[in-house]
Each structure stands twice: as structure tokens, then as C-alpha cells.
Structure 1
Amino acid sequence: MTNINVLDPGASPLDYYGFELRRLREAAGLTQRQLGDIINYTGSLVGQVETARKLPTPEFSERVDAALGTDGLLSRLVALVMRSQLPAWFQQVAELEARAVKIHTFHTHLVHGLLQTRAYARAVLSAMHVVDIDDRTAARLARQRIFEKSEPPVFWSVLSETVLYQEIGSRETMRGQLARLLTFETNPRVNIQVLPFSAGVHAGLQGSFDVFHFAGDPDIVYTEGYGSGHPSANPETATDCSLRYDHLQAAALSLRDSAELIRHVVEERYGEQRGADEDPVA
């Protein structure tokens, strides 16, 4: 007889998700393999999710919801599951991202996590260790689903020109990441400005920061260190950083000129190189 791992649904969001998945599947009279066949996943993967050994993805959840007629239950739960997989010190920030009506970010060396491609995020997260890299990458990308809400936040990113030249992963990774930034060019809710080298001394020299704005709550400023995050609701800090952000936006290139610079860097730095025989080379 197969040994069935009995989960404690109160142990974690992942355990609760697995418990509910098994309950719903069994109520529908389906085996793991049968459900896997319906949603185009293996029965083994269904079993791993049910026993909290595998992280469910939003796509997996949507397919199960459709197959079992759960009215979106698992799709709602997966957001909590993904958030629980983030570092403990960052989970509060993910909640701020989900609640904010407007997010202002300034980054000096990296593309913000809400704009990262899978390859770029994976390269960033594997800088020091590769343990659970697939799950950690999936958890980071799941944060981007805030842009799919009926009322997504207005997101404004000012990034240093350095970000365009800091080669993360590979040339191909950078091509894909910069191309991703350009996909937002016509999206009025996601705005990207580049702070050029020519700006010289600027209001963000102390480092990267985010400012979260809410419908009925005070603004919160977020800064980050190695293995730690620092949200602050101090009114003076919020006022200071909001003023700094105004100055950074003024010093940055316009949205149109920023997109043109990104295109130029893609072609000049990360485009296909050609050898003497004019054939592309890696």
C-alpha cells in the first residue's frame, strides 16, 4: 500500500496548498495521474505538490482550478505560497508591493525584481549559491503578478545607466532583459527612465531605494542591505526620499530618450557579434 504523507495544513502556506489540492482532487474522484493528464502535468508532479515537496506555479494553479471547478481557490492561495518562499526579511516588502497604488524605485546596479526576466533573476539569485534556485526564481517572478490586477499599481523605475552595462548572466540574458524593459514602452502604468552617466552628481548617490505610496496609509521607504531589508514609515525619511526621487526623475532621460538609449545598448553591447566572414559568433 502506498504510504501517503499526511500534511498539517497549518504548518505553512505550502502545506495548506498541498492539503487543499489533495482534498479537491479526491473529491473529484481523480488519481494524481488522471489529474496530471487533464492539466498536462505528470502525476508525479501533482503528488510532489500535494506533499509540499514541490512549489506550485501560478500556471499549475490556474489549470487545476479550471479542471476541478474550484472558482480560483488555488490561484488565490498560490500568491501566499510564493510569498512564503521569499526570504523572511523580504516578505513584508512583497506585501507592500501588493498593497501599493504607486511604486517609485531607484536602482544603481540591477533591474528591479518586478521587471526582471527569468534568466536575469536566476543569474542574480545564483550569485552566491544555487540551492533551490528554481523555487527562489519562481517566487521572485510571482511578485510580478501585481501588474495583472484589475487595478495594478503605477510603477516608476529610474535606473542608473550602469544597470544597462552591468552584464548579468550572459549577453543573451542581457539582450532578453533589456528587450523586456522595452516592452513597457507603451504601458502608461510602467515607466522606465535611465539616469545617464552625464548626470554627474545626483540625488541618489547614497544608493538604491523604493518609495511605496498607498491609498489611505503613509508612504513607506525601503532600502536594502546584505541579507536584510529596512522599511521605514518615518515621515521625515519619506519626505526626503520623495524629494530625492523628484530630482532623480528630473535628471534622468525622458521616457522616449531612455528607450532609445536602451535600444542603442542592446545593439552596440549585446547584439550578435560577427566574425571576419560575417557569420554571427557567440
Structure 2
Amino acid sequence: MTTDHLGNAENLDPYSSPKTFFGAELRRLREAAGLTQHQLGERVFCSRDYISRFESASRRPQPEVSRLLDEVLGSGEHLQRLCRLARLSKHPDYFADAADLEKHAATIGEYAPMLVPGLLQTEAYARALTRAAQLFAPEEAVEERVTGRMERKRLLDEPSAPELWVVIHEAALRIPVGGPGMMNEQLQDLRAVGHDHHRVVVQVLPFEAGAPAFLNGTVIQMTFADAPPVTYTESAYTGQLIDEPALVAQYQKAYDLIRAAALSPQASLALIESVAKDYTTP
């Protein structure tokens, strides 16, 4: 028997997290069944790469795939129960898979039409947004979301931080989330990150650029050193992770056109600073 494309699965500590335990158990059950990753992938209608990433804990397990794995491997509901544990997250469920992939990305490109991107939000801005979106949620639920977003933001301080290139529509600068003082703080922080962080590029798509390819939805493009690129799209209370190559390529072309239509990074930072000052003017 061969065990093709193990990745880092052999070196994982299975007890470090529910996700690594799921990966270790999947590998144990697969090898006990005498199946390669490719053979198992064929039986559960996914690629060898997916099986490899589940086993190496570089991607969160999926409920439907876990059900099929239990059926093929004769493991009852063992992997489905582990899947539920591995999918617990401080992020909304529709975004949690994308948040997990961000940690492994080599590059992240984001278009934000109405709001400052999550990776660049201040805590006060994130809290105001979360409270507006979850108007009747208990305070602890709001704070859990804010904590998750701030933890996600720390990714940019890691030695292996991805290159982040964001294009923000001018509308996002002018929607007064939380009031003028909070917006001034957010925009000053955004300008500082765009100016000082060596792995972050910020551009603004001005109103005069006209209608962009993505008019009203957030789009995030992620590339990886050892995996195909993916696209994540989001609108209110829902999101979708896309890995179909032709569709990902189509999104990438549209994102490139938006980036080309945006102001230069230097002009963008100047506009951000100008709008920030507007929030301090009576």
C-alpha cells in the first residue's frame, strides 16, 4: 500500500487541537482500510488533495465529506462527531473555513465595497459593526465575535504573514460606522498600516471609477505555496468559499480590473488621510 501526498500529517501532534485529532483519526482509519489518499478521495467524491489537507489539518473538515468518510471507512459517526468539534469557531460558520485558510495563504487580495476589511479593522470599528449586524444578540456573543476578529488580525504580525493587497471602495471610507471619532481613528489606523507595514498594500477605488466588477459584495482571493487558489465571496449574513478553477480564475480577472482602476497606493493613502480629517471637522 502507498500513502501518497502525506504533507505534514506524519509530524502533527494529534492532541494539539480537534482539527489535528480529526486528521490523525482519518489517516489511521484510511491506512487500516488499505486505501491511498487518491483511492479514498475517489470514493467520497473529492480530490486526493482534499484528503491530504484534512489529514494534515491545513483545512477544516466538512460535514458532508465526513459523513461519506464514515460510510466508506465503516467508522459509524466517529468522524462526523470529530468534525463538529473541529468546526467550532469564534467566526460565523459561513466565514470560518475562509478564516482558517487565511492562516496558510501566501497572498490575500480583497475588494471591500462598503466596509474596511476585517484584517484591517480597529477593535472599536469591529465592535460597532458587529453590534449593528447583531442588534439583539447578547453582549457576550458580540464580544466573542470581536475577539475572534482581533485574533484574526494578529496574522499580519506573524513572521510568515501573507502579502495582503486590499482595494477599498471610497464608499467604505465615508460610511460613518460608530460616529466621526471612531471613523477618524479607523482611517488613521488604516493609513498607518498601508504606509508602514511592508506586507500590506492599500488602494482606494474612487467614486469616479464608475461601477466595479463586484458592485456590492466582498471578494477575497487567496493563493498558497502548495495548493490551488481559492475565492471567498460574502454578503450580509452569508458567504461562499469557491475552489472551482475556472470560476476562481474569472474572479481573479475581475479583481485585477478593479485593482487597475483604483488609485495608486500613494494617492489612496492621501485620500484616506483627507477623509479622516473630514471626520474631525465640525
| TM-score when normalising by structure 1 | 0.65
- State yes or no: 1:203 paired with 2:208: no
Alpha-carbon contact 2:114-2:216 (below 8 Å) kept: no
Deviations 1:121-165 (Å, cap 9, x if unpaired)? 000000132422222211111101111211210001001000010
Residue of structure 1 in register with 2:231 after alignment: 221
Segments of 4+ moved more than 3 angstroms: none
Gaps of 5+ in 1: 1-9, 14-79, 274-282
- State how far apart, in whole Å, the 1-side matches of 2:91 and 2:211 are: 35
Change (3 A) 1:206 1:116: closer
**Alignment: residue pair count:** 196
| TM-score when normalising by structure 2 | 0.65
1:271 positional shift? 1.0
1:115 positional shift? 0.4
1:91 positional shift? 1.4
Residue of structure 1 in register with 2:266 after alignment: 256
Residue of structure 2 in register with 1:165 after alignment: 174
SS in 1 for 2:178: coil
Which of 120, 128, 145 lines up with 1:123 in the alignment? 128
1:228 positional shift? 2.3
1:243 positional shift? 0.8
Residue of structure 1 in register with 2:154 after alignment: 145
Which of 129, 133, 142 lines up with 2:142 in the alignment? 133
- Percent identity between the two aligned chains: 36
The CA RMSD over aligned residues, in Å, is 2.2
Residue of structure 1 in register with 2:196 after alignment: 186
Look up the equivalent residue of 2:267 and give its one-letter code: D
- State how far apart, in whole Å, the 2-side matches of 1:113 and 1:106 are: 11
Residue of structure 1 in register with 2:11 after alignment: none
Look up the equivalent residue of 2:259 and give its one-letter code: Q
- State yes or no: 1:265 paired with 2:270: no
Alpha-carbon contact 2:217-2:234 (below 8 Å) kept: no
Deviates more, 1:87-96 or 1:190-199: 87-96
Residue of structure 2 in register with 1:101 after alignment: 106
Residue of structure 1 in register with 2:249 after alignment: 239
1:205 positional shift? 2.6
Deviations 1:154-213 (Å, cap 9, x if unpaired)? 001001000010110111110110011111213231111000001013322363211111
